[in-house]
Amino acid sequence: MTNFSPSIEAALDAVAGHLSQARRALFITGAGISADSGLPTYRGVGGLYNSEATDEGLHIEEALSGDVFAVRPDITWKYLIQIEENCRGAKPNAAHRAIACLDQHLDRVMVFTQNVDGLHRAAGSCEIIEIHGNLQELMCTSCTHEEAAVDFRGREIPPLCPVCGAVLRPKVVLFGESLPEDELDRFIEALQEGFDIVFSIGTSNVFPYITQPVVFAAGSGIPTVEINPARTQLSEVVDYYLPLGAAEAMTAILDRLGIEIDPV
């Protein structure tokens, strides 16, 4: 077991204590949870898109926007492929597997993730809301054709529908597009039913729909935990801030509960 500072040890002990009493846990996750799988966090240290502009002179949010996709799908696809290449071959790490493992020990474990890498799904978590979609599923922009895409190797840019010839797109939410209402409704319903502990792991916490559930839980006396090497606007709000990597923190928490994480 890793030796941490006394303050972090105490926080880990307290979080494990709360989790041992919980029956329903919510895990809100961002790109940071996949860092130990070798994926870039897109922003910040080791980020994929830290430069000011893309080759086309656009901010990455513009290149990956619904507006640009509508007129220049080749530009959007260029950067979608870069993201997919960075995800290709990645495996769930100990943090993904730890959360999935908790399905066997709690009545309900919900994962609400911003990630499109599919790693929570690959780890075996039972109840997942991929609020930004999944890169591994494609849909036609014109007809009803859909297909799975293990990876994007060898595809033309932009890829075209084999049925009608229109442009294909991944089932992801591009910048400027609305979040899927059915998934949001499912999340709101789960929040109304309630959780006994709420974790925020590896997210920069810049979107209200990511931060508000944590703020609400903290204000309602529900134990809240943030796991992130970098501080965010939630760090002063949560009950326990753990400045650790996701895999390291989740392994330490489950160690304290005597729960063995399933191997790769």
Catalytic residue annotation: 132
Q: How many CB atoms lie within 10 A of CB 260?
A: 10
CB 169 within 8 A of CB 149: no
Burial class (CB in 10 A: 0-12, 13-18, 19+), 249: buried
Q: In angstroms, rounded to a whole number, what is the distance separating the alpha carbons of residues 52 and 82? A: 17
DSSP 14-40: HHHHHHHH-SEEEEEE-GGGGGGGT--
Local structure of residue 236 (DSSP, 8 states): T
Which residues contact residue 26 at a Cβ distance below 8 angstroms, ignoring those fewer than 6 apart? Answer: 110, 112, 190, 191, 195, 197, 198, 199, 213, 217
Query: What are the backbone dihedrals phi and psi of residue 260, each rounded to the nearest 5 degrees, phi first?
Result: -90, 130
> Which of these, 109, 125, 110, 97, lies nearest to 259 by C-alpha position?
97
Q: In angstroms, rounded to a whole number, what is the distance separating the alpha carbons of residues 234 and 226? A: 7
Question: What length does the chain have?
Answer: 264
Residue located via tokens 């709101």: 188
